[in-house]
Structure 1
Amino acid sequence: MADTHSRWPTTRQGSTRHPVPTLQYLLRARGHTVTVDGVFGAQTGDAVPAYQRTRGLPDNGVVCGDTWQALIVAVGPGASGSAVRGVQHEFRQRAGTPSDPDGIFGPATESAVRAFQSGAGLTVDGVVGPETWQALVTGVAGELRQAA
């Protein structure tokens, strides 16, 4: 049985681009004021260990499996906010579309989630829970259900 925690990307001070914006959206969803700019700079670098401390995790400022797992917020139809923006950002990255995430989990987002889940071999329920988040962030999908 594979360790699904090790499949999460390691993100730290100095990291840029994907998955930093998603990390920043999730930090915002957890109440931290950070700018979503795709740069793991000082602001994100302060928020990560602060969040880790609240969850009883090592406050080393490195985002890997346990921190990602603690940060994810399950979202589904009718949800709104920064976690939904994180999901929408992931789909924007994949499709290369220029539209900004609106933070509303409406029919278009649900349709994209269901299609992604189907293509990734995940349970198709339209809800972005732990397995779907991990598949979105890592791009690893088919083996997740077997490893869980």
Structure 2
Amino acid sequence: MSYATQTTIVRPTLTLGSTGDDVKDLQKILNGTVADNTLVVDGIFGRATQEAVTVFQKQYGLTVDGVVGSQTWAVLDTIDIYENDVTFPPTIRLGSTGEDVEYLQRRLNGIGLGPVIVDGIFGVATEKEVKKFQKHYDLTMDGVVGPKTWVRLEVIDV
């Protein structure tokens, strides 16, 4: 199972004052997640949109700067605004097995951590590398790969 092979849409960096259809897309997603439909979908990146972006970035463990760059887009583009759901692999931890664990192990190796044996078994060695990754990216260092850790793993180019 591969989550990194999704079609990538090239999105522009959006900041205060940006305008256009990408801003409208952003506002729709923010309305469906953190803004509770309070943003006017007008295609103008104003203060209210910027504030919603910072809330979104905090919620998903991203760098909080109010700018929608490639890392923020990578998470925004995983959200189905009609179901208000983020499509991430399930939470995995010590003892988990299967394709999601194999994918995690390949990502860790691709990032330059490890080496981790890609065997689909979330053992002590995989947990150690996950904790190292979490520490490096200022995430809760619990060895559990949940939404915030998945987000950070997905936005790193390998």
> Taking structure 2 as the reference length, what is the TM-score of the superposition?
0.47
Considering Cα pairs closer than 8 Å and 6+ residues apart, tell me whether 1 or 2 has the greater RCO: 1
Q: Structure 1-normalised TM-score? A: 0.50
Q: Which has the larger radius of gyration?
A: 2
